[in-house]
Structure 1
Amino acid sequence: MSSQTRQDERRRRSGAARLYAVQALFQMEAAGQSSDRVRREFEDWRIGAEVEGEVAPDADEALFGRILDDAVTWQGRIDQMTDRALVARWPIDRIDPVLRAVFRAAGAELVAAKAPPRVIISEYVSVAAAFFTEGNETKFVNAVLDHMAREATPGAFGQ
């Protein structure tokens, strides 16, 4: 396997982990389930699982777990950063729950600062595009995440 192929595979598995993390955060909020329960469900029954002849993408389970753990640990800080990035009359609890999950997952990665902010923003704009087809949401996600990234890691933007 070439290094390019390995790199592409890592990128695909990381993208799948981020998508699953958004789905898991949405499920935690919508169903009032704990992160441990949802994490086990995804690892046992969703990630890489075959359903009706279709195989769900495999994912970087370590990244998936880290995003969930950090989103739970830092939820207050992440939600405050999101609120500051949103228009004042649209606090985080008034936005679409899928967008809330996107912001929490991305915020977890921005706070942990294990990947460059521009990569995180790009990845989560792609995740948002998987849920929203109109395009306005992806522009909105890009703008909010840019604001959040500048707050979480101002040095990364030359400020």
Structure 2
Amino acid sequence: MTPSDGALSGNQKRKMRSAARLYAVQALFQMEHTEQSTREVVAEFLEHRFGATYDGDEMQDGDIALFRKLVEDAVNWQAKIDQMTDRSLIAKWPIARIDPTLRALFRVAGAELTQSDTPPRVVINEFVEIARAFFADGREPKFVNAVLDHMARAARPEAF
């Protein structure tokens, strides 16, 4: 059972929001590879990921409303987000050619940058951490930081 929002500490809320972002990236990745609908993947994640226990490890509870919004916004605004991402990438590497995990990450981050009032620096930091979770030994987190910085400046120049 999840405590009401009033009973959660600021740190717990941040962890739940971070988990929602991670799950949203995983959901978009899964949608691309399974052709599941938004409704199907959201239902699956809510039933099998949020707070579930696997092999004795408890999955983090997530902010369900944020998760749902990020997945829906990433799908609904995908063309706009992909154009913004393409403008942030080098010409030889359009979004269609990049790693599918990074593509999902950029789409979810782009949804949050364009469809929420979350400060751009928070979005960038959160998604760089997600990149570190997927690519611990690679250069991808620095790449994600650079691309998201460019995307954030394009999406919300007034914030810089």
TM-score normalized with structure 1 length: 0.94
In 1, Cα distance between equivalents of 2:134 and 2:54: 20
State the aligned residue count.
154
Shift in Å, 1:10: 0.5
In structure 2, what residue type is equivalent to 1:139?
Answer: K
* 2:130 alignment counterpart: 127
Equivalent residue, structure 2, for 1:14 = 17
Q: CA deviation at 1:50?
A: 1.2
CA contact (8 A) 1:13 1:59 kept: yes
2:62 matched to 1:59?
yes
Cα shift readout 1:76-131 (whole Å, capped 9, x = no counterpart): 00000000000001000000000001000100000113200010000000011000
Alignment partner, residue 109 of structure 1: 112
Q: How far apart, CA to CA, are the structure 1 residues paired with 2:94 and 2:15? A: 33
Specify the alignment match of 2:36 in structure 1: 33
C-alpha distance in 2 between matches for 1:141 and 1:152: 16
Unaligned runs of 5+ in 2: 1-5
Identity across matched positions, percent: 58
Q: Which 4+ stretches in 1 moved above 6 angstroms?
A: none
Instruction: For 2:22 and 2:36, locate their aligned partners in 1 and report how far apart those are by CA, in whole Å.
Output: 18
Instruction: Report the alpha carbon displacement of residue 135 of structure 1 after superposing the two structures with TM.
Output: 4.0
Q: CA–CA distance in 2 between the matches of 1:135 and 1:11?
A: 26
The answer to whether structure 1 residue 46 and structure 2 residue 41 are counterparts is no
Distance in 2 (CA, whole Å) between partners of 1:134 and 1:77 is: 31
Q: Distance in 1 between matches of 2:106 and 2:122?
A: 15
Residues 113 and 153 of structure 1 are in contact (CA less than 8 Å); yes or no, is this contact kept in structure 2? no
- 1:75 is matched with 78
2:3 corresponds in structure 1 to none
Q: Distance in 2 between matches of 1:116 and 1:19?
A: 18
TM-score by length of 2: 0.93
**What are structure 1's unaligned runs of at least 5 residues?**
none
